[in-house]
Amino acid sequence: MTAPAFAHAAEIERSLELMAERCEDPAPLVYGRVFAAHPQVEAQFWRDTNGTIRGEMLARTFSAILDFVGDRLYADHLIKTEVITHEGYEVPREVFSTFFGFVAEAVREVLGPDWTPATETAWREMLAEIQRYLDATPRVGAPA
Ligand code: HEM
């Protein structure tokens, strides 16, 4: 087995496992925060009449996080390509990048006292590392 891509992978995995055990549907916890912070984006889900797209987007985000901290086979590329795709949905990358932080807040809420200082460190460092990938993604149409 190769080493995980991220030093605190086990802590991220533990927190997401607890989240999955304790919360059947984390979507309201995450999207409630997204829409409170960015009220304009709720209307951008107009095609999502039954929550399927929001559910799929969140599921893909959880999978991407697990891959990002583990084998990192695709998540770094996925994050970079989704930024561009979302600019096509008129979601600015500054908004896009906040999603992972709202996921972190939702996990913290569900874990309660099981969100330890080590969990906090792991998520903070992972969010910073994801942000570095986002910052390195060229803007479409920007001069090279
Ligand atoms: C606050 C940040 C974000 C907003 C406002 C947002 C917004 C949207 C919207 C409006 C759609 C639906 C487009 C349509 O009508 O088909 C969508 C789809 C999608 N988003 Fe996001 N997005 C955000 C962050 C992310 C992140 C971080 C990821 C994953 C890395 C992601 C992955 C996806 C995927 C995979 C879909 C397609 C889902 C499907 O239809 O199968 N999004 N997003």
Q: What is the CATH number of the domain that holds 106?
A: 1.10.490.10
Pick from 79, 102, 81, 88: nearest CA to 27:
102
Q: Where does residue 122 rank: exposed (0-12), middle (13-18), buried (19+ CB within 10 A)?
A: buried
- Given pLDDT bands bounded at 50, 70 and 90, which one contains residue 139? confident
Structure tokens at 56: 């799929």
Residue positions counted in the chain: 144
Q: Is 142 a domain residue?
A: no
Q: Which residues line ligand 1 (CB under 6 A)?
A: 34, 41, 44-45, 47, 53, 56-57, 60-61, 64, 78-79, 82, 86, 89, 91, 95-96, 98-99
Q: Is 68 a domain residue?
A: yes
Q: Is 4 a domain residue?
A: no
Quote the number of domains for the chain.
Answer: 1
Measured CA to CA, the distance from residue 138 to residue 18 in angstroms comes to 36
Measured CA to CA, the distance from residue 22 to residue 50 in angstroms comes to 23
Q: Is 140 a domain residue?
A: no
Alpha helices in the chain (DSSP H): 9-22, 27-37, 52-69, 75-88, 93-96, 99-111, 117-135
Whether residue 144 is predicted with pLDDT greater than 60 in this model: the reply is: no
Q: Residues 27, 54: contact at Cβ < 8 Å?
A: yes
Pick from 132, 126, 74, 83: nearest CA to 104:
126
Q: What is the pLDDT of residues 80-121, one digit of tens each?
A: 999 999 999 999 999 999 999 999 999 999 999 999 999 999
Residue 117 is part of which domain span?
A: 15-135
Q: What is the pLDDT of residues 56-84, one digit of tens each?
A: 999 999 999 999 999 999 999 999 999 99
Q: Is 9 a domain residue?
A: no
Q: Is 1 a domain residue?
A: no
Q: Is 101 a domain residue?
A: yes
Tell how far the Cα of 57 is from the centroid of ligand 1, in angstroms.
5
Q: What is the pLDDT of residues 6-43, one digit of tens each?
A: 999 999 999 999 999 999 999 999 999 999 999 999 99
Structure tokens at 141: 């149409």
Whether residue 143 is predicted with pLDDT greater than 70 in this model: the reply is: no
DSSP 4: P
Q: Is 42 a domain residue?
A: yes
